[in-house]
Amino acid sequence: MKKNPNLICLLCAEHIDGVTFRDTDVLRRFISGQNKILPRKKTGSCSKHQRRLAREIKRAREMGLLGYRGQ
């Protein structure tokens, strides 16, 4: 599977500084239908934002705003 060269980081492109666990609409764009965190190759996120997204998705899961895998 080839990486799509046209993918760019959504957060960098829209100049979004910080994503918090309360922004569930934004976070849902980065999880699959099974509530798995999508990899960088699929989302096009830069490494900095991918780490932040993963951390905030995990926080949202702990707070009950997002579901865990398979739910």
Query: pLDDT of 15-38, one tens digit each?
Result: 888 889 999 999 999 999 999 999
- pLDDT-based confidence at 58, cuts 50/70/90? very high
Residue 70: pLDDT over 70? no
- Contact indicator for 7, 33 with CB cutoff of 8 Å: no
pLDDT score recorded for residue 17? 82
* CATH class of domain segment(s) 10-63: few secondary structures
pLDDT score recorded for residue 6? 76
**Tokens in use for 11?**
């957060």
> What span, in angstroms and rounded, lies between the C-alpha atoms of 24 and 58?
12
> What span, in angstroms and rounded, lies between the C-alpha atoms of 56 and 52?
6
